[in-house]
Amino acid sequence: MGHGHGTENMGDKRLTVAIGINVLLTGAQIIGGSISGSLSLIADALHNLSDAASLGIALFARKISRKPPDEFKTFGYKRAEVVAALINLTTLIIIGLYLIYQAIWRFIEPEEIEGWIVVIIAGVALCVDVVTAILTYTMSKKSMNIKAAFLHNVSDALASIGVIIAGTLILLYDWYWTDTVLTLVIAGYVLWQGFTMLPKTIHLLMEGTPDHLSVDEVIKSMESVESVENVHHVHIWQLDEHLNALEAHVVVNSNELSNIERIKTELKKLLSDRFEIGHSTLEFERPDKNICEPHMRS
């Protein structure tokens, strides 16, 4: 238990450091973009700001999610991180749309850009993005929020490389249009990333069936257990990112309590081992009870 708390505290410290350096970087990029006239630098700054905000929300959600279940939240507070992911992704999409709007206006009213300022600040941004990605990489394997933040920082690093290239082209060839084109590329990537992850987050909040599970397959497996005649009224959902849950009515051809207990134990073990369903609620019925037809499984 102590080791778990130590790991969580270390993760919180990493997130705090990542937030701090991203906020500082955002300020530097906005100032540099305003002085140089680079829209792509400001675009990258807004993306960095969204990363800092997403890390802050993720950190806050991590702390809430550790609260134990109580009379108001009997399943606990684990979904706080999923709600945070929804907020982060929605904000990301809004920023992407705003960048497209700004890029279109820049095509209409072009501005001169100071290439050296763009290259220097984008170089610093690249270093910060790499450091932040390193800080969040380990935690990203187990958390939707942190994974989103990690991917954001990787995309930021790629965007910073693109900004450096655009600044270099401006210095060498006065190709100012490359800055606007790059802004559209960054915006497109931000929107693609947001719209890719948003449906998964909404699916979890809407208590959808986990992607890797088939309700029909679960029912067939349950009905293969000895003395189980029918399984219906089946509901499968996720309590949080890592815990799957199921409730179902199970028709058995036995009245003996000991046999029913055996069936329940076998079913719960089957659900846990084969389908990774860690929380299951089973209601047992006799065949003579008025139940749904076999095809009315849910």
Residue 292 counted as domain residue: no
Q: Answer yes or no: do 81 and 155 share one domain.
A: yes
Q: Answer yes or no: do 266 and 126 share one domain.
A: no
Considering 156, 172, 205, which residue would you say is the last residue of a domain? 205
Q: Answer yes or no: do 169 and 89 share one domain.
A: yes
DSSP 3-state of 224: coil
Give the pLDDT band (50/70/90) at residue 75.
confident
Encode pLDDT of 226-265 as tens digits. Answer: 999 999 999 999 988 788 999 999 999 888 888 899 999 9
Residue 152: burial class (beta carbons within 10 Å; 0-12, 13-18, 19+): buried
Instruction: Quote the pLDDT of residue 6.
Output: 52
Which of 136-145, 179-188, 247-256 comes out lowest in average pLDDT? 136-145
Instruction: Quote the pLDDT of residue 7.
Output: 57
Average pLDDT for the chain:
79
Q: Answer yes or no: do 230 and 199 share one domain.
A: no
Percentage with pLDDT > 70 across the chain? 84
Q: Answer yes or no: do 81 and 148 share one domain.
A: yes
Strand 228-238 versus strand 244-252 pairing type: antiparallel
Tell me which residue range forms the domain holding 255. Answer: 215-285
User: What is d(CA 291, CA 284) in angstroms, rounded to the nearest whole number?
Assistant: 11
Q: Answer yes or no: do 50 and 86 share one domain.
A: yes
Q: Answer yes or no: do 28 and 55 share one domain.
A: yes
Higher pLDDT, 3 or 265: 265
Q: Answer yes or no: do 145 and 7 share one domain.
A: yes
Q: Answer yes or no: do 140 and 220 share one domain.
A: no
Q: Answer whether 227's CB lies under 8 Å from 254's CB.
A: yes
Encode pLDDT of 12-61 as tens digits. Answer: 787 888 788 878 878 877 887 777 777 766 766 776 777 787 778 878 88
User: What is d(CA 182, CA 261) in angstroms, rounded to the nearest whole number?
Assistant: 64
User: What is d(CA 174, CA 28) in angstroms, rounded to the nearest whole number?
Assistant: 24
Instruction: Quote the pLDDT of residue 66.
Output: 79
Q: How many domains does the chain have?
A: 2
Instruction: Quote the pLDDT of residue 3.
Output: 47
Residue 298 counted as domain residue: no
Q: Answer yes or no: do 228 and 184 share one domain.
A: no
CATH code, domain carrying 33: 1.20.1510.10
Query: What is the mean pLDDT of the segment spanning 266-282?
Result: 94
